[in-house]
């Protein structure tokens, strides 16, 4: 065991976070938590994790579940491709491995949605396999430790840091080590305002010793999300609201939304007319009223500016074709909404 790993493990013994997925080494719980934690903070994940596990306590129960229900239990976490891959991976485990998650790297990486990091996390934490688990926290900690000047978002930088981690992984303690680096990055070696004097590796950290912590990690500037203007129609008739299902591929795939049209026009009357044409296409004679609500929602690459218009029927309701649907407003909480559309019907 290197001096660095010994210091880190000693710190982890005293400072480790009490997280629900760490308590029994269950690879399924670790898998679910790691998928949830992608691009999501720990304090946000915990209640979702507990609710998800209460409903899907095992790989088999998740594999047997209907996708619509799985999505409902994920709603609010976003990045829905994550849970679709998790669901498909559970089905693969049920079909190919009798409900037992594989404990070797080659097999587990063949499961849907599992890459190098997730595989390393599951195998090291559940089985103490000597696998690195290099996430954003690990990249940041090691780039500061060694003043690494490569952009940490590049494949080359990730590969180099992975090799460094392999060299310091303590035999028989890889799971604790990986979690220790994660915790250090999350609580001490943070992106902004790191608590360097409290760090067990301060004396080993080249960036700290050279007073250059703010220079690392090196990371290219991300493109700002593209602004997108959307007009949304809230059409309610006799206690039901009109919604449609998004395509099976792409952003918010297969989620439900209100009638929506993207626009670039600034003229309010033209925007309302464009939205009215969505209803005309369905054979509905609808009056698009004034704007009642404005919402903003940011994705990694898009920023939606949504204006919601109250709409009313001019005649009796008619049935609508798939992927459209009338749903009772009182049942809105059961719908798997496309991200910000859930806010439109919140009580």
Q: Is 34 an annotated catalytic residue?
A: yes
Please give the helix or strand (H or E) that residue 42 lies within, else none.
helix 42-55
CA distance 204 to 191: 18
**Active-site residue identified among 14, 34, 257, 319:** 34
How many CA atoms within 13 Å lie on the side-chain side of 163? 5
CA distance 163 to 186: 22
Q: Where are the alpha helices (DSSP H) in 146-224?
A: 155-168, 174-187, 206-209
260-263 and 256-257 beta bridge pairing: unpaired
What are the angstrom distances between the C-alpha of 63 and each of 84, 141, 219, 233, 321?
11, 36, 38, 36, 30
53, 19 Cβ separation under 8 angstroms: no
Whether residue 117 is preceded by a cis peptide bond, meaning omega within 30 degrees of 0, is no
Buried b (16+ CB within 10 A) or exposed e, 298-312: ebeeeebebbbbebe
Tokens representing 219? 């990371």
The residue count of the chain comes to 347
Q: What are phi and psi of 68, to 5 degrees?
A: -60, -40
256, 72 Cβ separation under 8 angstroms: no
- Closest among 14, 79, 69, 13 to 45, alpha carbons compared: 79
Catalytic positions, please?
Answer: 34
């Amino acid at each position: 065991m290197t001096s660095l790993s010994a210091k880190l493990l000693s710190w982890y013994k005293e400072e480790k976070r009490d997280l629900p997925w760490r308590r029994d080494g269950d690879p399924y719980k670790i898998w679910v938590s790691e998928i949830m934690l992608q691009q999501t903070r720990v304090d946000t994940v915990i209640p979702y994790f507990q609710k998800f596990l209460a409903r899907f306590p095992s790989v088999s129960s998740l594999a047997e579940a209907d996708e619509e229900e799985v999505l409902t239990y994920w709603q609010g976490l976003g990045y829905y491709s994550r849970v679709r891959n998790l669901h498909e991976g559970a089905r693969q485990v049920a079909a190919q491995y009798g409900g037992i998650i594989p404990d070797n790297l080659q097999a587990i990486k063949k499961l849907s949605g599992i890459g190098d990091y997730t595989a390393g996390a599951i195998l090291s934490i559940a089985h103490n396999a000597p696998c690195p688990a290099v996430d954003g926290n690990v990249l940041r900690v090691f780039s500061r430790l060694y003043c690494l000047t490569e952009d940490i978002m590049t494949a080359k930088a990730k590969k180099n840091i992975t090799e460094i981690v392999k060299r310091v992984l303590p035999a028989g303690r890889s799971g604790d080590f990986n979690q220790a680096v994660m915790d250090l990055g999350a609580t001490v070696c943070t992106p902004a305002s790191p608590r360097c004097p409290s760090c067990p590796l301060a004396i080993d950290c080249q960036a700290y010793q050279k007073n250059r912590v703010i220079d690392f990690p090196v990371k290219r500037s991300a493109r700002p999300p593209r602004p997108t203007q959307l007009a949304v129609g809230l059409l309610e008739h006799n206690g039901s609201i009109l919604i449609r299902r998004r395509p099976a591929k792409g952003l918010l795939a297969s989620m439900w939304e209100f009638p929506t049209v993207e626009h670039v026009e600034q003229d309010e009357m033209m925007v309302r007319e464009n939205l009215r044409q969505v209803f005309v296409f369905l054979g509905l004679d609808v009056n698009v009223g004034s704007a009642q609500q404005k919402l903003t929602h940011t994705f990694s690459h898009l920023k939606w500016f949504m204006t919601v218009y109250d709409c009313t029927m001019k005649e009796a309701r008619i049935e609508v074709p798939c992927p459209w649907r009338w749903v009772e407003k009182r049942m809105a909480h059961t719908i798997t909404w496309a991200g910000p559309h859930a806010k439109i019907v919140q009580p």
